[in-house]
Structure 1
Amino acid sequence: MGSKIRTTIERYVELVGAGSADDVVSLYAADATVEDPVGTPVRKGHDAIREFYELLVPLERETTLHPETVRIAGNSAAFMFTVVTTVNDQRFVLTPIDVMEFDDDGKITGMRALWSQDDMRVDTE
């Protein structure tokens, strides 16, 4: 099961950086939930999750998984990755910690992202 989960995590980070909302949603089980960031309303089901990821699609973005942070235990995993978005020539950098639950097919059944506005920085390079 661990290899299925690791593959889903790698694909998730890749698609958040360059995929469509539908591509990302395809990694989720039909009744999955997303709480991103933790403390915001939970989105449930493909339609609500697609609406969330559609916000990223028009942005110039790139992502990098920090593979040394991936931890898998049973059907759960936690990992850190960096997402960089560019808006009006400003680069915003965020490194959330995502905690996910998976079904036996490796589909995401729940995702909670740990980050706050204090964790976002503007890259001045």
Structure 2
Amino acid sequence: MPSTAQITAAVAEYVSLLGTGTGKEIGALYNESATLEDPVGGEIRIGRADITAFYSALDSVTTAAELITVRVTGDSAAFQMRVVTTMPDQVITIEPIDVMTFDDEGLITSMRAYWGPADVATTQGQ
């Protein structure tokens, strides 16, 4: 089982890469058979290739991400973050709560993002 420090570092790296990385770099944080459900109730992505494709949508926009709080127990973490995506005509801000599980190597085995339309704030772009 990964240590609390290992999981905390993996979550911090994940949030950092949401703001500065590529879909391929984020996808590399997941194990080969991982699942992703973002948001919960939406399509479940299965496997690193499908998950990488999901995050690749961020490659063409400017995104900043900030970790607000994280809690770790066993092989799981729950955390809240703020993600701000800037597009030419609007800025979208969301603060999801994500729950992740990890394998012994510290790779993500599952991720579920808790948020809905009421949690999305949109403002006019510049």
Q: Normalization by structure 2: what TM-score?
A: 0.93
Paired residue for 1:99? Answer: 99
Aligned to 1:24: 26
Count of aligned pairs between the two proteins: 123
Q: Residue 32 of structure 1: CA displacement? A: 0.3
1:110 equivalent in structure 2: 110
Unmatched segments (≥5 aa) in structure 2 = none
Aligned to 1:2: 4
Q: Deviations over 1:18-50 (max 9, x none)?
A: 101111011101100000000011101011101
CA distance in 2, matches of 1:123, 1:43: 29
State how far apart, in whole Å, the 2-side matches of 1:58 and 1:26 are. 19
2:50 to 48, 52, 76: 48
| 1:17-96 pair list within 5 angstroms | 17-66=19-68, 69-96=69-96
Q: Tell me how large the CA RMSD over aligned residues is.
A: 1.2
TM-score (norm 1): 0.94
Identical counterparts, % of pairs: 42
- What are the ranges of 5 or more consecutive residues in structure 1 without an aligned counterpart? none
- Residue identity matched to 1:21: G
Q: What is the distance in 1 between the residues matched to 2:21 and 2:115?
A: 22
Three-state SS of the structure 2 residue aligned to 1:56 is helix
TM-superposition CA deviations, 1:51-108 (whole Å, max 9, x none): 1001111011101111xx2110100110000000011242110000000000111110
